[in-house]
Protein backbone atom coordinates (compact mmCIF):
# COMPACT_ATOMS: atom_id res chain seq x y z
CA UNK A 1 0.00 0.00 0.00
CA UNK A 2 2.88 2.31 0.86
CA UNK A 3 4.16 1.98 -2.65
CA UNK A 4 0.83 3.03 -4.13
CA UNK A 5 0.65 6.02 -1.85
CA UNK A 6 4.21 7.13 -2.61
CA UNK A 7 3.52 6.78 -6.25
CA UNK A 8 0.43 8.93 -5.91
CA UNK A 9 2.25 11.62 -3.93
CA UNK A 10 5.07 11.68 -6.42
CA UNK A 11 2.68 12.14 -9.30
CA UNK A 12 0.78 14.84 -7.45
CA UNK A 13 4.04 16.67 -6.85
CA UNK A 14 4.96 16.50 -10.54
CA UNK A 15 1.51 17.60 -11.67
CA UNK A 16 1.35 20.46 -9.20
CA UNK A 17 4.79 21.73 -10.15
CA UNK A 18 3.91 21.61 -13.81
CA UNK A 19 0.60 23.36 -13.15
CA UNK A 20 2.18 26.12 -11.09
CA UNK A 21 4.85 26.80 -13.68
CA UNK A 22 2.38 26.77 -16.53
CA UNK A 23 0.00 29.02 -14.64
CA UNK A 24 2.75 31.51 -13.84
CA UNK A 25 4.05 31.65 -17.37
CA UNK A 26 0.52 31.83 -18.72
CA UNK A 27 -0.30 34.64 -16.32
CA UNK A 28 2.77 36.69 -17.24
CA UNK A 29 2.25 36.24 -20.94
CA UNK A 30 -1.49 36.81 -20.74
CA UNK A 31 -1.07 39.90 -18.58
CA UNK A 32 1.46 41.46 -20.92
CA UNK A 33 -0.49 40.55 -24.03
CA UNK A 34 -3.75 41.93 -22.62
CA UNK A 35 -2.21 45.16 -21.39
CA UNK A 36 0.17 45.55 -24.30
CA UNK A 37 -2.34 44.95 -27.08
CA UNK A 38 -4.19 48.14 -26.15
CA UNK A 39 -1.38 50.44 -27.27
CA UNK A 40 0.07 48.37 -30.07
CA UNK A 41 -0.52 49.74 -33.52
CA UNK A 42 1.39 50.04 -36.72
CA UNK A 43 2.10 53.61 -35.75
CA UNK A 44 3.56 52.50 -32.43
CA UNK A 45 5.89 50.08 -34.20
CA UNK A 46 6.95 52.46 -36.93
CA UNK A 47 7.32 55.88 -35.34
CA UNK A 48 9.76 57.63 -33.06
CA UNK A 49 9.08 58.46 -29.42
CA UNK A 50 7.31 61.79 -28.93
CA UNK A 51 5.53 63.79 -26.23
CA UNK A 52 6.53 65.27 -22.92
CA UNK A 53 8.24 63.59 -21.23
CA UNK A 54 9.70 61.98 -24.31
CA UNK A 55 8.28 58.49 -24.78
CA UNK A 56 4.84 59.28 -23.42
CA UNK A 57 3.59 59.43 -26.99
CA UNK A 58 4.82 58.02 -30.28
CA UNK A 59 6.46 54.71 -30.96
CA UNK A 60 9.49 52.53 -30.51
CA UNK A 61 11.02 52.17 -33.95
CA UNK A 62 14.54 53.22 -32.85
CA UNK A 63 14.46 50.68 -30.03
CA UNK A 64 13.33 47.84 -32.32
CA UNK A 65 15.99 48.64 -34.91
CA UNK A 66 18.57 49.13 -32.17
CA UNK A 67 17.77 45.79 -30.55
CA UNK A 68 17.98 43.96 -33.85
CA UNK A 69 21.32 45.58 -34.70
CA UNK A 70 22.76 44.87 -31.26
CA UNK A 71 21.68 41.24 -31.48
CA UNK A 72 23.20 40.94 -34.93
CA UNK A 73 26.55 42.36 -33.83
CA UNK A 74 26.55 40.26 -30.68
CA UNK A 75 25.80 37.04 -32.58
CA UNK A 76 28.29 37.76 -35.33
CA UNK A 77 31.18 38.59 -33.00
CA UNK A 78 30.44 35.85 -30.47
CA UNK A 79 29.89 33.09 -33.01
CA UNK A 80 33.14 33.77 -34.85
CA UNK A 81 35.11 33.56 -31.60
CA UNK A 82 33.10 30.70 -30.15
CA UNK A 83 33.36 28.58 -33.28
CA UNK A 84 37.09 29.18 -33.53
CA UNK A 85 37.54 28.23 -29.88
CA UNK A 86 35.40 25.13 -30.21
CA UNK A 87 37.23 23.97 -33.34
CA UNK A 88 40.60 24.59 -31.74
CA UNK A 89 39.76 22.74 -28.54
CA UNK A 90 38.14 19.75 -30.20
CA UNK A 91 40.41 19.34 -33.25
CA UNK A 92 43.77 20.98 -32.78
CA UNK A 93 44.59 21.25 -29.10
CA UNK A 94 47.06 18.52 -28.19
CA UNK A 95 47.50 19.38 -24.53
CA UNK A 96 44.98 18.22 -21.96
CA UNK A 97 45.97 21.01 -19.59
CA UNK A 98 45.33 23.75 -22.13
CA UNK A 99 41.97 22.19 -22.91
CA UNK A 100 41.03 22.22 -19.23
CA UNK A 101 42.16 25.83 -18.88
CA UNK A 102 39.99 26.86 -21.83
CA UNK A 103 37.03 25.00 -20.38
CA UNK A 104 37.44 26.64 -16.98
CA UNK A 105 37.66 30.08 -18.55
CA UNK A 106 34.54 29.49 -20.63
CA UNK A 107 32.65 28.21 -17.58
CA UNK A 108 33.72 31.24 -15.57
CA UNK A 109 32.61 33.58 -18.33
CA UNK A 110 29.21 31.94 -18.31
CA UNK A 111 28.97 32.64 -14.60
CA UNK A 112 29.84 36.34 -14.73
CA UNK A 113 26.77 38.49 -13.90
CA UNK A 114 25.61 40.56 -16.85
CA UNK A 115 26.11 43.88 -15.07
CA UNK A 116 29.75 42.93 -14.51
CA UNK A 117 30.07 42.15 -18.21
CA UNK A 118 28.62 45.63 -18.76
CA UNK A 119 31.24 47.19 -16.49
CA UNK A 120 33.95 45.30 -18.34
CA UNK A 121 32.59 46.62 -21.63
CA UNK A 122 32.60 50.12 -20.24
CA UNK A 123 36.16 50.09 -18.92
CA UNK A 124 37.69 48.12 -21.77
CA UNK A 125 35.76 48.98 -24.92
CA UNK A 126 34.32 52.40 -24.13
CA UNK A 127 37.15 53.88 -22.09
CA UNK A 128 40.34 52.00 -22.93
CA UNK A 129 39.79 51.31 -26.64
CA UNK A 130 38.00 54.62 -26.94
CA UNK A 131 35.06 53.23 -28.88
CA UNK A 132 32.68 55.50 -26.98
CA UNK A 133 29.17 54.58 -25.91
CA UNK A 134 28.15 53.17 -29.20
CA UNK A 135 26.33 50.46 -31.08
CA UNK A 136 29.68 48.70 -31.56
CA UNK A 137 30.68 48.76 -27.89
CA UNK A 138 27.28 47.56 -26.73
CA UNK A 139 27.07 44.86 -29.41
CA UNK A 140 30.52 43.53 -28.57
CA UNK A 141 29.72 43.55 -24.85
CA UNK A 142 26.63 41.48 -25.51
CA UNK A 143 28.86 39.24 -27.64
CA UNK A 144 31.13 38.67 -24.64
CA UNK A 145 28.08 37.73 -22.62
CA UNK A 146 26.76 35.10 -25.05
CA UNK A 147 30.15 33.76 -26.17
CA UNK A 148 30.34 30.96 -23.56
CA UNK A 149 26.86 29.66 -24.41
CA UNK A 150 27.66 29.35 -28.08
CA UNK A 151 31.10 27.87 -27.41
CA UNK A 152 29.81 25.12 -25.14
CA UNK A 153 27.10 24.02 -27.57
CA UNK A 154 29.32 24.26 -30.64
CA UNK A 155 32.03 22.22 -28.95
CA UNK A 156 29.56 19.57 -27.86
CA UNK A 157 28.24 19.30 -31.39
CA UNK A 158 31.74 19.03 -32.88
CA UNK A 159 32.77 16.37 -30.37
CA UNK A 160 29.75 14.28 -31.18
CA UNK A 161 31.01 13.87 -34.73
CA UNK A 162 31.86 10.24 -35.41
CA UNK A 163 35.60 9.61 -34.86
CA UNK A 164 35.77 6.69 -37.27
CA UNK A 165 34.49 8.89 -40.08
CA UNK A 166 37.06 11.55 -39.28
CA UNK A 167 39.77 8.94 -39.44
CA UNK A 168 38.54 7.65 -42.77
CA UNK A 169 38.87 11.16 -44.08
CA UNK A 170 42.41 11.61 -42.75
CA UNK A 171 43.25 8.16 -44.10
CA UNK A 172 42.68 9.49 -47.62
CA UNK A 173 45.52 11.95 -47.01
CA UNK A 174 43.00 14.78 -46.81
CA UNK A 175 43.87 17.75 -44.59
CA UNK A 176 42.13 18.61 -41.34
CA UNK A 177 40.86 21.91 -42.72
CA UNK A 178 39.19 20.25 -45.71
CA UNK A 179 37.69 17.59 -43.45
CA UNK A 180 36.33 20.28 -41.16
CA UNK A 181 34.87 22.40 -43.93
CA UNK A 182 33.43 19.64 -46.09
CA UNK A 183 32.46 16.99 -43.60
CA UNK A 184 32.19 18.22 -40.03
CA UNK A 185 30.76 21.72 -40.27
CA UNK A 186 27.98 20.84 -42.72
CA UNK A 187 26.87 18.15 -40.25
CA UNK A 188 27.05 20.43 -37.23
CA UNK A 189 25.75 23.54 -38.99
CA UNK A 190 22.15 23.26 -37.84
CA UNK A 191 23.23 22.72 -34.24
CA UNK A 192 25.55 25.68 -34.27
CA UNK A 193 23.03 27.98 -35.92
CA UNK A 194 20.46 26.91 -33.34
CA UNK A 195 22.90 27.73 -30.54
CA UNK A 196 23.62 31.14 -32.05
CA UNK A 197 19.95 32.05 -32.44
CA UNK A 198 19.15 30.95 -28.91
CA UNK A 199 22.02 33.05 -27.60
CA UNK A 200 20.72 35.90 -29.78
CA UNK A 201 17.42 35.80 -27.93
CA UNK A 202 19.33 35.99 -24.67
CA UNK A 203 21.32 38.99 -25.90
CA UNK A 204 18.23 40.80 -27.12
CA UNK A 205 16.58 40.65 -23.72
CA UNK A 206 19.58 41.84 -21.73
CA UNK A 207 19.58 45.42 -20.44
CA UNK A 208 22.44 45.45 -17.96
CA UNK A 209 25.39 45.05 -20.36
CA UNK A 210 24.24 47.85 -22.66
CA UNK A 211 23.32 50.50 -20.13
CA UNK A 212 26.91 51.59 -19.67
CA UNK A 213 28.25 50.74 -23.08
CA UNK A 214 25.95 52.15 -25.71
CA UNK A 215 22.36 52.68 -24.77
CA UNK A 216 21.41 56.33 -24.56
CA UNK A 217 17.93 57.47 -23.61
CA UNK A 218 15.81 57.87 -26.74
CA UNK A 219 18.71 57.80 -29.15
CA UNK A 220 17.53 57.87 -32.75
CA UNK A 221 18.14 54.98 -35.15
CA UNK A 222 21.95 54.65 -35.22
CA UNK A 223 23.63 56.01 -38.34
CA UNK A 224 26.90 54.18 -37.87
CA UNK A 225 28.64 51.70 -35.59
CA UNK A 226 29.85 54.56 -33.43
CA UNK A 227 26.42 56.12 -32.81
CA UNK A 228 24.65 55.48 -29.54
CA UNK A 229 21.64 53.24 -29.72
CA UNK A 230 18.28 52.60 -28.08
CA UNK A 231 17.18 49.08 -27.30
CA UNK A 232 13.88 47.50 -26.24
CA UNK A 233 14.88 46.31 -22.76
CA UNK A 234 16.44 49.68 -21.99
CA UNK A 235 13.44 51.53 -23.38
CA UNK A 236 11.26 49.42 -21.14
CA UNK A 237 13.46 50.18 -18.18
CA UNK A 238 13.24 53.94 -18.77
CA UNK A 239 9.49 53.96 -19.37
CA UNK A 240 8.77 52.20 -16.10
CA UNK A 241 11.72 53.47 -14.06
CA UNK A 242 10.94 57.09 -14.76
CA UNK A 243 7.20 56.48 -14.62
CA UNK A 244 6.74 57.87 -18.12
CA UNK A 245 4.02 55.63 -19.46
CA UNK A 246 2.98 52.26 -18.14
CA UNK A 247 0.79 51.59 -21.14
CA UNK A 248 3.67 52.09 -23.57
CA UNK A 249 5.81 49.95 -21.33
CA UNK A 250 3.43 47.01 -21.64
CA UNK A 251 3.37 47.39 -25.37
CA UNK A 252 7.18 47.53 -25.49
CA UNK A 253 7.41 44.42 -23.36
CA UNK A 254 5.03 42.65 -25.71
CA UNK A 255 7.12 43.54 -28.76
CA UNK A 256 10.30 42.38 -27.04
CA UNK A 257 8.66 39.12 -25.99
CA UNK A 258 7.33 38.41 -29.45
CA UNK A 259 10.75 39.03 -31.00
CA UNK A 260 12.47 36.70 -28.54
CA UNK A 261 9.79 34.07 -29.02
CA UNK A 262 10.26 34.28 -32.75
CA UNK A 263 14.00 33.78 -32.36
CA UNK A 264 13.52 30.82 -30.04
CA UNK A 265 11.05 29.21 -32.39
CA UNK A 266 13.53 29.50 -35.25
CA UNK A 267 16.17 27.93 -33.03
CA UNK A 268 13.90 25.06 -31.98
CA UNK A 269 12.88 24.45 -35.57
CA UNK A 270 16.55 24.22 -36.57
CA UNK A 271 17.36 21.75 -33.79
CA UNK A 272 14.34 19.71 -34.72
CA UNK A 273 15.29 19.62 -38.37
CA UNK A 274 18.72 18.31 -37.46
CA UNK A 275 17.14 15.46 -35.52
CA UNK A 276 15.00 14.58 -38.52
CA UNK A 277 17.96 14.59 -40.87
CA UNK A 278 20.13 12.70 -38.43
CA UNK A 279 17.88 9.66 -38.39
Contacting residues toward other proteins, per CB under 8 A: 162, 164-165, 167-175, 178, 182-183, 187
Least spacing, CB of residue 95 vs other proteins, in Å:
15
Cα(194)–Cα(198) distance, rounded to whole angstroms?
Answer: 6
Residue 124 or 161 with smaller CB distance to other proteins: 161
Min CB(173)–other proteins separation in Å: 3
User: Least Å distance between CB 192 and other proteins?
Assistant: 16
Residue 4 beta carbon to other proteins: minimum distance, rounded to whole angstroms: 47
Q: In whole angstroms, what is the distance from residue 214 CA to residue 199 CA?
A: 20
Q: What is the DSSP string of the chain?
A: -HHHHHHHHHHHHHHHHHHHHHHHHHHHHHHHHHHHHTT--HHHHHS-EETTTTTSEE--HHHHHHHHHHHHHHHHHHHHHHHHHHHIIIII---HHHHHHHHHHHHHHHHS-HHHHHHHHIIIIIIIS---SSHHHHHHHHHHHHHHHHHHHHHHHHHTS-HHHHHHHHHTT--HHHHIIIIIHHHHHHHHHHHHHHHHHHHHT--HHHHTTTB-TT--S-SSTTS-B--HHHHHHHHHHTTS-HHHHHHHHHHHHHHHHHHHHHHHHHHHHHHHHH-
Q: Cβ closer to other proteins: 91 or 124? A: 91
* Nearest distance in Å: CB 62, other proteins: 46
Of the pair 2, 275, the CB lying nearest other proteins is at 275
Comparing CB distances to other proteins, the nearer of 127 and 177 is 177
Output the smallest distance, CB 174 to other proteins, in A.
Answer: 5
- Closer Cβ to other proteins, 56 or 185, answer by number: 185
Nearest residue (CB) to other proteins, 186 versus 243: 186
Q: Is the Cβ of residue 19 or residue 165 nearer to other proteins in the bound state?
A: 165
Q: How far is the CB of 279 from other proteins (least distance, A)?
A: 10
Amino acid sequence: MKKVRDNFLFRMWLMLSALIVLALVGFIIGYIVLNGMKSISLDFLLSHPKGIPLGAEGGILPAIVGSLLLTLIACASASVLALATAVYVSFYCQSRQLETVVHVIVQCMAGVPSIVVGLFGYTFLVAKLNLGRSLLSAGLTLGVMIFPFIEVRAEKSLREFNRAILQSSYALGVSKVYTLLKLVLPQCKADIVAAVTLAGGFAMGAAAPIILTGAVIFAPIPRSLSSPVMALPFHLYILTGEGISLEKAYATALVLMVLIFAINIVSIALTFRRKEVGR
